[in-house]
Amino acid sequence: MRLLRQDHKPAPWVLYLAGGCFWGVQGYFQRITGVLDTEVGYANGIQAGTSYHELSRTDHAETVKVTFNSGVLSLEELLAHYFRIIDPTSINRQGNDRGRQYRTGIYYDRDFPEEGLVRIHRCLEALEKRLGQKPVIEVEALKNWVRAEEAHQDYLERNPGGYCHINLSLADRPLDEDFIDYQKPARETLKKELSPEAYHITQEEGTDPPFSHPYDQLDEPGIYVDIVSGQALFSSRDKFDGGCGWPSFSKPILQESLAYKKDRTLAMERTEVRSQGADSHLGHVFPDGPQNLGGLRYCIDGSALRFIPLSKMEEEGYGKWIPFVEK
């Protein structure tokens, strides 16, 4: 079961992403849950107008306007997808396409939140650290945006066999590939490694008594990982006081990190939340969360989690998630 949240009140943000031929970039982002709309066009040229055949003269970049629900798809997760499908060290070339119109760029309009720009630069700093060199991705205010001709809109939807420099099937693969082949320990091993409470909750679908776990009221920057596998699940940035007695989050760090099952116990129908890597029972998700955060409340048992403070994330091997935590 996959949880789709497009029916919840969206908090739409818009970002313009240049990543080579815009057919493939649009085709990829159309497959990402939380993306509400895409449109191809030309951005940041030297004049107000242009066309597909004038790009080398007007210096516009082939670009995709991405409108996304930030209550479902975080800016950091969106950019992680973007970094995955480009070569961030290549100047004016992506795939077989060469020229200034194929440069990489992140452009934002005047309505884009100031905090979003700070978060973009933090993601780029984290990318630079991973690459060991500075990415050659423009980050600029949007100017001279031109919607592309209709023949280019949704091109790969209408021409499935058309040219694409991006492997679109990547959209169906986890961003966090560390847990694709995760081997869950035997129950006997887990009984030895976990506390009785953690074992009962993660392996036997138990629950913490309300207001009993210290994570309920913990207010410290960091991430919460699956106590069984160590998979990163939730960020302190998305944590809020749900008043229910269990830690509450508006969304996971990555949508793919969780699995969902129908739960008809206790004479009611609920949606159970499990970790994707180790299949640990974590809790439930309810549609009564703050609307400005996406409308959902992930009600999670603290005993199913391990908290790693921001100050220790790098040391414990979770450095790549730091941009998802910092405010």
Mean pLDDT of the chain: 94
Average pLDDT over residues 156-165: 92
Does 123 participate in catalysis according to the annotation?
A: no
Do residues 224 and 247 touch, judged by C-beta distance below 8 A? yes
Q: Residue 4: its pLDDT value, please?
A: 45
Among 91-105, 159-173, 273-287, the range scoring the smallest mean pLDDT is 159-173
Query: In this model, does residue 1 exceed pLDDT 80?
Result: no
Q: Tens of pLDDT along 218-234?
A: 999 999 999 999 999 99
Can you give the residue ranges of every domain in the chain? 12-172, 177-325
CATH of the structural domain 12-172, one choice from 3.30.1060.10, 3.40.30.10, 3.10.20.600, 3.40.1180.10:
3.30.1060.10
Average pLDDT of 168-181? 90
Residue 22 CA to residue 42 CA, distance in Å, equals 9
Q: In angstroms, what CA-CA distances link 123 with 73, 113, 137?
A: 15, 16, 12
Beta-carbon contacts of 158 under 8 Å, excluding residues fewer than 6 positions away, are: none
Catalytic residue, candidates 21, 123, 164, 244: 21
Task: Specify whether 21 is catalytic.
Answer: yes
Measured in degrees and rounded to the nearest 5, phi and psi for residue 261 equal -135, 145
161 vs 206, residue with greater confidence = 206
How does residue 6 score in pLDDT terms, banded at 50, 70 and 90?
A: very low
What's the CATH code, domain 177-325? 2.170.150.20
Quote the pLDDT of residue 178: 82
Per the CB < 8 A criterion, the answer to whether 269 and 263 are in contact is: yes
